[in-house]
Amino acid sequence: MPAPDFAVGLGLGSNLGDSPANIRRALAEIERRGVARVTALSRIYRTPPWGPVAQPPFANACALARTRLAALDLLAALKAIEAEMGRAAGERWGPRLIDLDILFHGAGALDLPGLHLPHRHLFERAFVLIPLAEIAPDLRIGGRGVAQAAREIDASGVEIWPDSV
């Protein structure tokens, strides 16, 4: 019996160094290592930082992908890529070289220590909703439409990164 193939949503962010290049490198590593096959990729957006820490703006993007990895295995693979790219532990919601989040994994829900799917803040963050709606406007997660949520959220400061068009 073949291994299951899951549709997943990934959120990617960076605000240290060459942020767009960090996102592109992470995506290349995801593909090269066979972690997932990217099927759609948003443009890169320049977004204000989220949270209480003063820091530079972020580059953010979303990707749709297919993976044979179970959710916890996918999380471990993404964390390994972050570590190998040089992400260091730091302040929560602080600056980071690369941040790779699983937004959803298949159609199911999961609530484990360190992994809550769909991502618990997905519908609160314009830096996720805007790029996700770009590539999956008809997507519904937990009964909510991504495009509708993107239209309703305050997207102040979210703009397409120059040279990302």
Active-site positions?
87, 96, 99, 101
DSSP of the chain: -PPP-EEEEEEEEE-SSSHHHHHHHHHHHHHHTTS-EEEEEPPPEEE---SSS--PPEEEEEEEEEESS-HHHHHHHHHHHHHHHT----STT---S-EEEEEEETT--EEETTEEES-TTGGG-HHHHHHHHHH-TT-EETTEEHHHHHHHS--TT-EEPTT--
How far, in Å, CA of 78 to CA of 65, rounded? Answer: 13
